[in-house]
Amino acid sequence: MLNRRNFLKIAALGTSTLALPQMSNSMRRTPQVRPNILFIMLDDVGREGLPFYPQHGSEQLPHGSVHAPAMTALAEDGHTRVFDTMRSTPICWGTRFEAVTGRKLFEIHGQTHRYASNPIDAIDPRFDRLPQNLIYSKLAGYRRGAFGKWHLALPENRTPTHVVTSGLDEWGISYNSNYRDNKERVYYGSEWTSSEAPGKTQVLPDDVFVDDVAAASARSFMQRSSQGDAPWFCQLWLNLVHDPVIDLSDGSKPLSKVEKLRSMVRYTDKIIEQIIDDLKASGEYDNTLLIVASDNGGSGFVGGEKSDVSERGVGIPFMMRWPGMVQGGRERRIAQMTDLYPTILQAVGHSDPRAYAKSLYPLFQPGQGAIHSFVTQSVFVGNWMVADQRYKLKTPPQCRTTEHAGSCQHLQLFDLQHDPDELEPLRGNQGGEQAWQARRRLEGIAQDLGLQVDMMSEAEEPWSTLLPKADTVALTLN
């Protein structure tokens, strides 16, 4: 949502930043064949913060307390599939990396980084040489643009040179190389790099809201690209609603922290509403594969558990609208953000196999089964989860750092069907033989993936210790 006081300032940032004419495209593409692709990612918006995910609540941000009419209407659209069990990594950069590479974090983590107090220490040294392997370079025949948060280059000051070699045609990227010292620069006075000055950095004015600039740049890119014959790919990764919590209301009255957070969600919703209005006005809405997701669960102030592999940390809002391909409704089969990579490539007519990522296409076809028998997520190698459709095996939150490694001696098993908030891990013979068969299978999967499982079961005498070894459940890695 463009703040009136920022309108002229944003327009002055570049000639391509804010040109939003109404237009029609004489060349219509059927949505099933090389659709436009719009990938919007929110930051730290947990399922519990959106009104169309009623299964979770929060004392600080009660279900239904946020008015998000655009996202709610999108969720209820007859062409939108809303995923109830989409998993991401529980951290910002991890999900972004997995979505645009189709690779899992544990594939780039060495065992020497099993417990890492500093996230940068846990990254494979090859990470900063991966831009040529991102999905953008594989979208031949598309106009490709990315706007907003990048977070694919660490440390952040590598961003200007990293994005240049990523395969994009146009970009406007915000980042903050000194975030820890200046949190407020996430939104005001942010560092910005664009295709108008490749490899260069400018600092946005202190009274210009960074997501206004990103949204305006993305809208301009889509409008201009829709005038041509080629389809386009547009990525808009917002900073909203990452901390710090700020007031984005009309300023008519002082707000509490929770009220400010609600204003941030409403502001996000307004940005999405304006983009959808643009697509409808240009005639491109039904020619576009629209993906709206979050990077992880909410921060602590939203009732989520960002940085942990609990469902409130890895369970994210995820919607996909695709007329002619997707039938509206709720999707309850398990999926993970790595699946976006093969799905987008299949949509544009390409493929690039990945070990743990599956195209979502089968979920759109009547009578098809699940695409995964299990899904997995990790923060660092010491903090991980593996889940099937019902059960989940995970390490406790203390497994994230070296300081707490000594207390990570118990794997936890949860029955998500009866305990979706993971309030009480199964112990002893709770859950019966079925639960403990699942535990043995999930632990075997984790071992095969190279995750650390040399820990004790958080059970006194589980069924898994009573069953003959010959009854071990065979693993299916998919």
Arithmetic mean of pLDDT, 300-326: 86
Q: What is the pLDDT, as a whole number, of residue 138?
A: 93
Q: What is the pLDDT, as a whole number, of residue 2?
A: 52
Q: What is the pLDDT, as a whole number, of residue 380?
A: 64
Helix, strand or coil for residue 277? helix
What's the rounded Cα separation, in Å, for the pair 93 and 334?
Answer: 22
Closest CA to 8 of 244, 188, 213, 170: 213
Arithmetic mean of pLDDT, 14-24: 44
The two structure tokens encoding residue 429: 């013979």
Does the pLDDT of residue 263 top 70, yes or no? yes
- Given a contact cutoff of 8 angstroms between Cβ atoms, the answer to whether 394 and 374 are in contact is no
Using the structure block, give the residue that is written with the tokens 């939150």: 397
Does the pLDDT of residue 473 top 70, yes or no? no
Arithmetic mean of pLDDT, 323-329: 92
DSSP classification of residue 227: T
Question: H or E segment at 173?
Answer: strand 170-175
Residue 196 buriedness (CB in 10 A; 0-12 / 13-18 / 19+): middle
Write the CB contacts of 424 (distance below 8 Å, at least 6 apart in sequence): none
Q: Using pLDDT thresholds of 50, 70 and 90, give the confidence band for residue 469.
A: very low
Q: Using pLDDT thresholds of 50, 70 and 90, give the confidence band for residue 169.
A: very high
- Alpha helical stretches, state H, 316-402: 340-347
Q: Which has the higher per-residue pLDDT, 456 or 471?
A: 456
Torsion-angle region of 251 (φ positive above 0: left; ψ -120 to 50: alpha; else: beta): left
**For the segment 115-168, what is each residue's pLDDT rounded down to a tens digit?**
444 545 555 555 544 667 899 999 999 999 999 999 988 778 889 999 998 999
What's the rounded Cα separation, in Å, for the pair 78 and 74?
Answer: 9
What's the rounded Cα separation, in Å, for the pair 452 and 433?
Answer: 25
Closest CA to 462 of 438, 441, 436, 434: 436
**For the segment 421-442, what is each residue's pLDDT rounded down to a tens digit?**
888 999 888 999 999 899 999 9
What's the rounded Cα separation, in Å, for the pair 54 and 114?
Answer: 36
Q: What is the pLDDT, as a whole number, of residue 476?
A: 36
User: Any idea which of 92-101, 219-228, 377-386, 462-471 has the lowest mean pLDDT?
Assistant: 462-471
The sign of the dihedral angle between the CA atoms of 357, 362, 363, 364 is: positive
What's the rounded Cα separation, in Å, for the pair 331 and 319?
Answer: 9
Q: Using pLDDT thresholds of 50, 70 and 90, give the confidence band for residue 266.
A: very high
Q: Which CATH superfamily is domain 31-364 in?
A: Alkaline Phosphatase, subunit A (3.40.720.10)
Break the chain into its structural domains and give their ranges: 31-364, 382-471
Neighbours of 362 (CB within 10 A): 13
Does the pLDDT of residue 22 top 90, yes or no? no
Arithmetic mean of pLDDT, 287-309: 85
State the pairing for strand pair 384-387/375-378. antiparallel
Does the pLDDT of residue 64 top 60, yes or no? no
| pTM for this predicted structure | 0.88
**For the segment 354-396, what is each residue's pLDDT rounded down to a tens digit?**
999 999 999 998 888 999 999 999 876 667 899 999 999 998 8
| Angstrom distances, CA of residue 362 to CA of 139, 161, 177, 292 | 22, 38, 41, 19
Arithmetic mean of pLDDT, 273-298: 96
Write the CB contacts of 447 (distance below 8 Å, at least 6 apart in sequence): 453
